[in-house]
């Protein structure tokens, strides 16, 4: 399977291995990374070779499929036990994006769904299930992109934060799915790309995707978003999500909350785009969403060079929570959801 809508392949399955476009090396180098074992997939997720909530879920699902292929188990029970080891290992990689746990749960349920399947059939069934998760993600992105395009006026200037594009999904993207949907609908959008310190997903990845497709855009330093809005140069904000609580509170890349506050101050609509697999109805509100703390060196260094004094500690929360009250609408494959939000499973 591959992503037909894109000129690149962020995540692709080759029957015995998972091939990932190594996002750590973009935009300078387009290098593909081959994962043949589940620990290699876990490592790719942890080190951001593959990142973005839906892409993490898809990669983890194929990680479980690889665990099944690699397991020497001759009976169903030992194969299921090996799968549990892989699922537990993959679940430890990153805590915030619920798509990871959603995909792992779905793989576990699939493995246990038919007690009549022997090990060989189970191995094949799990590769098929991961493929289905992949295909459904592309389809959801396309549907939400079409719903979201309706929110984009002709010639709109859209500000986005982080990368919620084809790279962050099985293909097409969520926030950038709406941009692509608007392009396909002939709305000719322009995109302001927040650089997204400290890991620079906007400057490195979103700009790379948009440049490849010839979609007009400009990168701005995160700190320039306020004045760009004040000058009247932003018509709407569209961002992705890592986990959406039952009440609509949304965890996304650190800095998203600030953008939402700015949008409210300037009277600019603020939209969240995500597939239903990003909604966690078990969580009542944003306070219960686990926020990943990453290595402080991501803040202390820029392109591998120390930029802070040797004695200065740093904190590095990778996500923040935007309260539902600041979100104009949440766009999923099921349509445009307006407040008050009450998401159910």
Options 240, 248, 255, 286; binder of ligand MRU; rule CB under 6 A: 240
Tokens describing residue 218: 């400009």
Residues 197-216 touching ligand MRU, rule: CB under 6 A, are 201
C-alpha to C-alpha distance for 25 and 158, rounded to whole angstroms? 26
Q: Cβ closer to ligand MRU: 83 or 164?
A: 164
Q: Is residue 51 a contact residue for ligand MRU (CB under 6 A)? A: yes
Q: Cβ closer to ligand MRU: 67 or 100?
A: 100
Options 12, 252, 277, 332; binder of ligand MRU; rule CB under 6 A: 252
Which among 235, 242, 280, 320 is annotated as catalytic?
A: 242
Candidates 94, 96, 110, 21; CA nearest to 61 is 110
Options 1, 158, 168, 299; binder of ligand MRU; rule CB under 6 A: 168
Options 26, 33, 97, 158; binder of ligand MRU; rule CB under 6 A: 97
Q: Cβ closer to ligand MRU: 234 or 251?
A: 251
C-alpha to C-alpha distance for 286 and 247, rounded to whole angstroms? 8
In the chain, the N- to C-terminal Cα span, in Å, equals 28
C-alpha to C-alpha distance for 137 and 115, rounded to whole angstroms? 27
Q: Does residue 242 carry a catalytic annotation? A: yes
C-alpha to C-alpha distance for 98 and 134, rounded to whole angstroms? 16
Q: Is residue 44 a contact residue for ligand MRU (CB under 6 A)? A: no
Q: Is residue 26 a contact residue for ligand MRU (CB under 6 A)? A: no
C-alpha to C-alpha distance for 88 and 79, rounded to whole angstroms? 14
The torsion angles phi and psi of 84, rounded to 5 degrees, stand at -60, -35
Options 42, 241, 262, 263; binder of ligand MRU; rule CB under 6 A: 241
C-alpha to C-alpha distance for 344 and 206, rounded to whole angstroms? 31
Q: Is residue 259 a contact residue for ligand MRU (CB under 6 A)? A: no
CB of 240 to ligand MRU, least distance (A): 3
CA quadruple 42, 54, 95, 301: dihedral positive or negative? positive
> How many residues interact with ligand MRU (rule CB under 6 A)?
17
Q: Which residue has the tokens 């009976």?
A: 75
Active site residues: 242
Catalog residues that contact ligand MRU under the rule CB under 6 A: 51-54, 97, 162, 164, 168-169, 174, 201, 240-242, 252-253, 318
């Amino acid at each position: 399977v591959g992503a037909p809508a894109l000129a690149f392949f962020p995540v692709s399955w080759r029957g015995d291995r998972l091939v990932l476009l190594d996002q750590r090396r973009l935009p300078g180098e387009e290098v593909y990374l081959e994962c043949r074992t589940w620990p290699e997939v876990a490592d790719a997720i942890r080190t951001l070779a593959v990142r973005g909530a839906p892409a993490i879920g898809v990669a983890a699902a194929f990680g479980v499929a690889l665990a099944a292929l690699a397991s020497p188990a001759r009976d169903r029970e030992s194969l299921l036990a090996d799968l549990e080891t892989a699922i537990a290992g993959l679940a430890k990689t990153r805590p915030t994006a619920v798509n990871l746990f959603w995909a792992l749960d779905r793989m576990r349920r699939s493995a246990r769904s038919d007690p009549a399947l022997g090990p060989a059939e189970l191995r094949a069934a799990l590769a098929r299930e991961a493929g289905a998760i992949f295909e459904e993600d592309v389809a959801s992105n396309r549907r939400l992109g079409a719903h979201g395009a309706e929110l984009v006026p002709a010639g709109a200037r859209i500000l986005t934060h982080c990368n919620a594009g084809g790279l962050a999904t099985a293909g097409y993207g969520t926030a950038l799915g709406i941009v692509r949907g608007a392009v396909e609908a002939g709305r000719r959008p322009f995109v302001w790309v927040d650089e997204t310190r400290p890991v620079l997903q906007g400057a490195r990845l979103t700009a790379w995707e948009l440049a490849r497709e010839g979609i007009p855009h400009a990168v701005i330093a995160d700190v320039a978003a306020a004045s760009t809005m004040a000058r009247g140069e932003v018509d709407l904000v569209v961002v992705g999500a890592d986990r959406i609580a039952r009440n609509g509170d949304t965890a996304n890349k650190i800095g998203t909350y600030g953008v939402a506050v700015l949008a409210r101050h300037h009277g600019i609509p603020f939209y969240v785009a995500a597939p239903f697999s990003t909604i966690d109805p078990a969580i009542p509100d944003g306070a219960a969403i686990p926020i990943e703390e990453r290595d402080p060196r991501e803040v202390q260094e820029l392109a591998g060079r120390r930029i802070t004094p040797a004695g200065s500690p740093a904190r590095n929360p990778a996500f923040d929570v935007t309260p539902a009250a600041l979100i104009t609408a949440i766009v999923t494959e099921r349509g445009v959801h307006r407040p008050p939000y009450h998401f159910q499973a």
